[in-house]
């Protein structure tokens, strides 16, 4: 399973990149706003800074909601760097834009996926990734991980090459559950990635090993 980080914070992206387990970055207009990025040029400059930190796969989301402007915006983002993946929402105009951009060799991440039907349409249009928002489904008492399992099964049935990118991850167990049902990618907040590392028995075990080692030093110097 690949790990993407779901943030526009350069510090968090650097920290995740330094861990050596990062495969990509996803952003969205809310995450860009959180970093105080506004306007087209500032967004483009920020995407370039992100591309300079990571190896590949930086999702940049279009703001336009009509076909012509989605394409224009998508092509502009794609020209920033080969690492850019254009993020398009699953709406009617978006489906046409996915088809066009992928025909031009531009990778597309289809966002705001909440049903298997939307995932089928996005795969038919040629999307490289689809992003089901599992946390937001859990928020309304639906099972987000069940949707991931359903889409993985459907894509397997037809050998669709579109990758399932689980998004809206809220805690480390979401990541483990997505891995169990075969998600290709999880895009996570830094806190959830770091939480995967922690275990109290690891901390206790390490403290004991170090204490025992220090005792041997005391015996040697006695
Ligand atoms: O980037 C899309 C998605 O991960 C958003 O997550 O936490 O706003 O539901 P959230």
Amino acid 221: pLDDT: 77
Q: Distance from the CA of 202 to the center of ligand 1, in angstroms?
A: 30
Strand pairing category for 58-61 and 163-166: unpaired
Amino acid 22: pLDDT: 97
Amino acid 134: pLDDT: 98
CA distances from 57 to 7, 49, 86, 158 (A): 13, 13, 9, 25
Q: How many Å apart are CA 70 and CA 89, to the nearest integer?
A: 10
Neighbours of 92 (CB within 10 A): 10
Residues in CB range of 101: below 8 A, 6 or more apart = 71, 74, 75, 78, 86, 88, 108
Amino acid 219: pLDDT: 78
- H/E run at residue 100: helix 92-103
Q: How many Å apart are CA 105 and CA 109, to the nearest integer?
A: 13
Q: Answer whether 177 contacts ligand 1 (Cβ < 6 A).
A: no
Evaluate whether the domain defined by 2-221 bears CATH number 3.30.479.30: no
Could you state, in order of their start, the residue ranges of all structural domains in the chain? 2-221
The residue ranges of the chain whose pLDDT is under 70 are none
| φ, ψ of residue 101 in degrees (nearest 5) | -65, -40
Whole-structure pTM over 0.85, yes or no? yes
Catalytic residue positions, numbered: 87
Ligand 1 pocket, mutate which of 89, 129, 136 (most atoms under 8 A from CB): 136
């Amino acid at each position: 399973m690949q790990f993407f980080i779901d943030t526009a914070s350069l510090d968090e992206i650097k920290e995740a990149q330094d861990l050596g387990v990062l495969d990509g970055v996803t952003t969205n207009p809310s995450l860009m706003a959180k970093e105080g990025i506004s306007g087209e040029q500032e967004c483009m400059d920020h995407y370039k800074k992100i591309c300079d930190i990571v190896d590949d796969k930086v999702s940049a989301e279009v703001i336009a909601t009509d076909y012509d402007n989605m394409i224009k915006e998508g092509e502009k983002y794609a020209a920033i760097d080969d690492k850019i993946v254009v993020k398009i929402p699953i709406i009617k105009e978006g489906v046409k834009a996915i088809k066009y951009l992928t025909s031009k060799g531009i990778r597309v991440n289809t966002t705001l996926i909440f049903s298997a039907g939307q995932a089928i349409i996005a795969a038919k249009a040629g999307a490289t990734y689809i992003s089901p928002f599992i946390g937001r489904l859990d928020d309304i008492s639906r099972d987000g991980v069940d949707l991931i399992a359903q889409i993985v099964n459907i894509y397997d049935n037809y050998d669709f090459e579109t990758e399932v990118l689980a998004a809206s991850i809220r805690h480390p167990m979401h990541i483990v559950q997505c891995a169990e049902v075969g998600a290709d990618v999880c895009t996570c907040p830094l806190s959830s990635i770091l939480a995967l590392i922690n275990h109290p028995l690891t901390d206790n075990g390490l403290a004991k090993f170090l204490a025992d080692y220090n005792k041997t030093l005391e015996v040697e110097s006695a």
